């Protein structure tokens, strides 16, 4: 099933829709008690949803072995289309034994509710160490993405999926904008060029700087914070969203920005995930994508600009979305404004650098980030969330 296209062509040429119609949903519900079950965790539930709404076009389900192996080794689907992250459903070998190829499998959410179905076309084994080293660049279990991978089952299930119904997001229903809707909004606003921005952290001055630099050259900005599963020590999604609401209300031209949620979970795959994030925003209708310092990175596993360099591994125009590469922004004491080494004459001693990790550490110590790093209203919101007793605006 495909949908009408507006604006930039989705990855693979068609925007996928795997949300069951009311009649299809009822047909599956009537079979609910007779279907074998697989229970999804929150990450897999996010993948199911992303496939169904077309955010992972051209995927119609969990990857077959040929697609999986080519993605892991070459960052391409079996048909040669660029794709950097495997989208798969893994189960324990004992559970897979009772699942028969050619049959429907009931997919339940973590609470045991019937949310989707898988048309099981194949089952296959895979090499976790190989996937870890290729996709994450390491097999170190301290890496959060690798840890998740090694906790998965030994058998992958492949085949098309159906999501039974699209429910409002429990926390952010007003920001639940699917690719069909974002494309319609861009068209309604007359935007021909749209830059997407991905983050799992609260917005800070460096984010604001590169977003506004990008906004100088395009028609609109699509702020698309990730609200799926992240590391335990990341700031909660509701706090991050409130920070964005504050920033949009006070510091951005509201007619040139759309805030929406990205329901995906983080992989922390660094360079590979930067490509993945770009392709997702292409499916939402973005023509450009911001790639900053250590995009989707964690710890010291990736170089500062590896997530920018990886885009050069593809032919110009092959990805179908333009990466906008930014250097690490900082507050320049000499010019008293945000800058990068491209625009600032300052010495290293005259620059204030703070990462999201350092800010989280400050907040846990009961300290507020300085005004050079965070707008005071955002710092106050973070203080409330971290139960810091004293804060000022």
pLDDT at 392 (0 to 100): 42
Residue 123 token pair: 């089952």
pLDDT in the model for residue 355? 67
DSSP 2: B
Q: What is d(CA 213, CA 7) in angstroms, rounded to the nearest whole number?
A: 23
Rounded Cα–Cα distance for residues 280 and 38 (Å): 26
User: Residues 155, 190: one domain?
Assistant: no
Residue ranges making up the domain that contains 140:
22-163
Question: Does 338 reside within a domain?
Answer: yes
Distance CA 183, CA 185 (A): 5
In this prediction, residue 388 carries a pLDDT of 54
Query: Do 154 and 282 have their domain in common?
Result: no
With 50 as the cut, is the pLDDT of residue 234 above it?
yes
The pLDDT-based confidence of 31 (bands split at 50, 70, 90) is very high
Residue 358 confidence class, pLDDT cut points 50, 70, 90: confident
Instruction: Tell me the HSE value of 254 on the side-chain side, using a 13 A CA sphere.
Output: 7
Structure-token pair, residue 184: 């319609």
Check pLDDT > 70 for residue 2. Answer: no
Same-domain check for residues 228 and 345:
yes
Query: CA 315, 316, 322: angle at the middle one, nearest 5?
Result: 125
Residues 6 or more apart from 144 whose CB is under 8 A from it?
231, 266, 268, 298
Establish how many alpha carbons lie within 13 A of residue 239's alpha carbon, considering only the half-sphere containing its beta carbon. Answer: 17
Q: What is the CATH number of the domain that holds 104?
A: 3.10.400.10
- The answer to whether residues 184 and 218 belong to one domain is yes
Same domain, 294 and 370: yes
11, pLDDT greater than 70: yes
Query: Beta partners for 62?
Result: 159
Residue 76 counted as domain residue: yes
240 tagged catalytic: no
Do 87 and 158 contact (CB within 8 A), yes or no?
Answer: no
36 part of a folded domain:
yes
Tell me: do 181 and 155 sit in the same domain: no
Note the pLDDT of residue 393.
37
Give the domain-ending residue among 95, 130, 163. 163
pLDDT at 367: 79
Dihedral of CA atoms 176, 179, 184, 190 in degrees, nearest 10, equals 100
Written as six digits, the tokens of 125 are 């084994």
pLDDT per position as a tens digit, 111-162:
999 999 999 999 999 999 999 999 999 999 999 999 999 999 999 999 999 9
Residue where a domain stops, chosen among 133, 163, 193: 163
pLDDT digits over 318-334, tens only?
Answer: 999 999 999 888 888 99
Is residue 392 assigned to a domain? no
Domain boundary among 136, 163, 190: 163
pLDDT in the model for residue 110: 95
Residue 5, domain member (yes or no): no
Residues 133 and 200 in one domain: no
CA–CA distance, 78 with 83 (Å, rounded to integer): 10
CA distances (Å), origin 259, targets 219, 228, 236, 242: 15, 16, 17, 11
Confidence check: pLDDT of 4 > 80: no
Say what the pLDDT of residue 246 is.
94
- How much is the average pLDDT of 44-55? 98
**pLDDT-based confidence at 15, cuts 50/70/90?**
very high
Q: Does the annotation mark 201 as catalytic?
A: yes
What CA–CA distances, in Å, run from 96 to 88, 122, 166, 198?
Answer: 14, 11, 28, 35
Q: Is the same domain home to 111 and 141? A: yes
Query: From CA 218, how far away is CA 216, in angstroms rounded?
Result: 6
Average pLDDT, the chain: 92
Per-residue tokens: 372:
């050079």
CA 341 to chain centre: 28
DSSP three-state, residue 85? coil
* Active-site hit among 18, 106, 183, 201: 201
- Contact by Cβ (8 Å): 376, 393: yes
- pLDDT (average), residues 368-393: 74
Distance of CA 82 to the CA centre of its chain: 17
Tell me if 275 is assigned to some domain: yes
Residues 203 and 296 occupy one common structural domain: yes
Residue 231: pLDDT band by 50, 70, 90 thresholds?
Answer: confident
288 or 366: which carries more pLDDT confidence? 288
Total domains, the chain = 2
The CATH number of the domain holding residue 284 is: 3.40.50.620
CA dist 386 and 393 (Å) reads 16
Q: Which of 18, 106, 200, 240 is catalytic?
A: 200
What's the Cα-to-Cα distance from 131 to each of 41, 80, 84, 215, 392, rounded to whole Å? Answer: 20, 19, 12, 37, 48
323 inside domain:
yes
Q: What is the pLDDT, as a whole number, of residue 140?
A: 97
* pLDDT average, residue stretch 164-181: 95
Averaged pLDDT for residues 9-21: 97
* Confidence at residue 389, expressed as pLDDT on a 0 to 100 scale: 44
- What residues have CB less than 8 Å from 268, skipping those under 6 apart? 136, 143, 144, 145, 231, 296, 297, 298
* 118 and 252 within one domain: no
Q: Give the mean model confidence (pLDDT) for residues 70-96.
A: 97
Contact by Cβ (8 Å): 107, 51: no
- Residue 225 and residue 153 share a domain: no
pLDDT of residue 196: 98
pLDDT exceeds cutoff 60 at 365: yes
Q: Which two tokens stand for residue 382?
A: 């973070």
CA–CA dist 285, 224 (Å, integer): 12
Instruction: Tell me the per-residue pLDDT of 275-285, one tens digit each, with 9 for 90 and over.
Output: 999 999 999 99
Do 242 and 140 sit in the same domain of this protein? Answer: no
- Please check whether residue 345 lies inside any domain of the structure: yes
């Amino acid at each position: 099933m495909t949908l009408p296209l507006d604006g930039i062509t989705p990855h693979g040429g068609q925007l996928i829709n795997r949300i069951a119609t009311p009649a299809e949903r009822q047909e599956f519900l009537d079979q609910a008690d007779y279907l074998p079950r697989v229970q999804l965790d929150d990450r897999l539930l996010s993948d199911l949803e992303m496939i169904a709404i077309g955010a992972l076009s051209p995927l119609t389900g969990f990857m077959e072995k040929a697609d999986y192996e080519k993605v892991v080794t070459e960052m391409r689907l079996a048909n040669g289309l660029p794709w950097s992250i495997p989208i798969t459903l893994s189960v324990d070998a004992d559970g897979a034994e009772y699942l028969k190829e050619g049959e429907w499998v009931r997919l339940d959410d973590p609470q045991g509710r019937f949310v989707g179905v898988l048309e099981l076309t194949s089952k296959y084994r895979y090499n976790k160490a190989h996937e870890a080293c290729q996709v994450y660049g390491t097999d170190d279990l301290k890496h959060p993405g690798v840890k998740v991978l090694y906790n998965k089952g030994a058998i992958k299930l492949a085949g098309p999926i159906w999501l039974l119904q699209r429910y409002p997001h429990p926390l952010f229903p007003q920001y639940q904008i699917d690719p069909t809707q974002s494309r319609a909004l861009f068209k309604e606003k007359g935007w021909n060029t749209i830059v997407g921005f991905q983050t799992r952290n609260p917005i800070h001055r460096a984010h604001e700087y590169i977003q506004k630099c990008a906004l100088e050259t395009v028609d609109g900005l699509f702020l698309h914070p990730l609200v799926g599963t992240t590391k335990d020590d990341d700031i909660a999604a509701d706090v991050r969203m409130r920070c964005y609401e504050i920033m949009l209300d006070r510091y951005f031209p509201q007619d040139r920005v759309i805030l929406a949620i990205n329901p995906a979970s983080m992989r922390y795959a660094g360079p590979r995930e930067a490509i993945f994030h770009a392709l997702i925003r292409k499916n939402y209708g973005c023509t450009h994508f911001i790639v900053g310092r250590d995009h989707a990175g964690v710890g010291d596993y990736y170089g500062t600009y590896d997530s920018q360099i990886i885009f050069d591994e593809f032919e110009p125009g092959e990805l179908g979305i333009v990466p906008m590469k930014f250097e690490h922004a900082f507050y320049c004491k000499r010019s008293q404004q945000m800058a990068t080494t491209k625009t600032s004459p300052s010495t290293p001693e005259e620059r204030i650098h703070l990462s999201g990790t350092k800010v989280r550490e400050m907040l846990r110590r009961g300290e507020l980030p300085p005004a050079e790093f965070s707008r005071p209203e955002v710092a106050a919101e973070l203080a409330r969330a971290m139960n810091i007793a004293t804060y000022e605006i």
